[in-house]
């Protein structure tokens, strides 16, 4: 049977239309799969997030504020030592070491000791006759493992082994161990007129 010219012309057009429809169907199918996959990924992500939050909540520790007060007697040539770095006299690099038995304020019973160093890092600062000393002071309280470390910087008279009488210095607590593991906070040191001392620790501990 002989087809008309119109039929012959329509056939390629119909074939092209069918081809485009098929391609569109495949594209829609792939797109649908992509949406389903993305949706599944979102659910997995939310589920993983909830699991992480639950685990973090279960392992969460409570921060506890603690104040600890310790004391010691005068700093003397018997419990401290001055290492004079060249040139002679007050200069950068001078080191002072300490070992002092610790008690509770108002008590004579030993509960630990303080040891460590002060190192001169600048002279004539913040004004003439003064100097800056950085601290590395370790307070051992009770067992040897129970330690608190005090750092920071303070101003001293160049000729003096310690801060002036009736003065107060606040330094950061830079860590702890034993029952004070992870300690953070600050320490307020007071030098009294009678040459006795107190160190008051304001700590935050994770329990």
What are 11-20's pLDDT values in tens digits? 444 445 455 5
Q: Is the same domain home to 30 and 98? A: no
**Class of residue 146 by CB neighbours under 10 A (exposed 0-12, middle 13-18, buried 19+):** middle
Q: Is the same domain home to 155 and 124? A: yes
Q: Is the same domain home to 201 and 114? A: yes
Q: How far is CA 160 from CA 49, 90, 131, in A?
A: 58, 10, 10
Q: Is the same domain home to 117 and 139? A: yes
Give the structural domain span for 183.
Answer: 63-206
CATH assignment of the domain containing 113: 2.40.480.10
| pLDDT tens digits along 38-97 | 344 555 656 656 655 555 554 567 889 999 999 999 999 999 999 999 999 999 999 999
Q: Is the same domain home to 121 and 196? A: yes
CB contact at 8 A, 200 and 173: no
Q: Total structural domains in the chain?
A: 2
Decide: pTM greater than 0.85.
no
Q: Is the same domain home to 141 and 180? A: yes
């Amino acid at each position: 049977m002989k087809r008309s010219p119109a039929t012959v012309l329509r056939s390629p057009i119909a074939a092209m239309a069918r081809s485009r429809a098929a391609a569109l169907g495949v594209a829609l199918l792939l797109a649908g799969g992509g949406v389903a996959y993305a949706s599944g990924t979102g659910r997995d992500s939310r589920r993983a997030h909830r699991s992480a939050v639950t685990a973090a909540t279960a392992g969460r520790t409570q921060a506890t504020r603690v104040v600890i007060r310790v004391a010691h007697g005068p700093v003397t040539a018997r419990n401290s030592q001055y290492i004079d770095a060249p040139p002679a006299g007050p200069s950068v690099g001078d080191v002072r070491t300490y070992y002092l038995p610790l008690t509770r304020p108002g008590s004579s019973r030993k509960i630990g000791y303080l040891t460590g160093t002060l190192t001169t890092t600048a002279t004539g600062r913040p004004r003439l006759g003064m100097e800056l000393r950085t601290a590395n002071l370790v307070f051992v309280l009770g067992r040897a493992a129970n330690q608190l470390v005090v750092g920071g910087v303070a101003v001293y008279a160049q000729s003096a082994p310690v801060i002036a009488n009736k003065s107060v210095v606040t330094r950061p607590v830079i860590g702890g161990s034993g029952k004070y593991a992870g300690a953070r906070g600050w320490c307020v040191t007071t030098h009294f007129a009678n040459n006795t001392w107190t160190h008051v620790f304001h700590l935050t501990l994770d329990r």
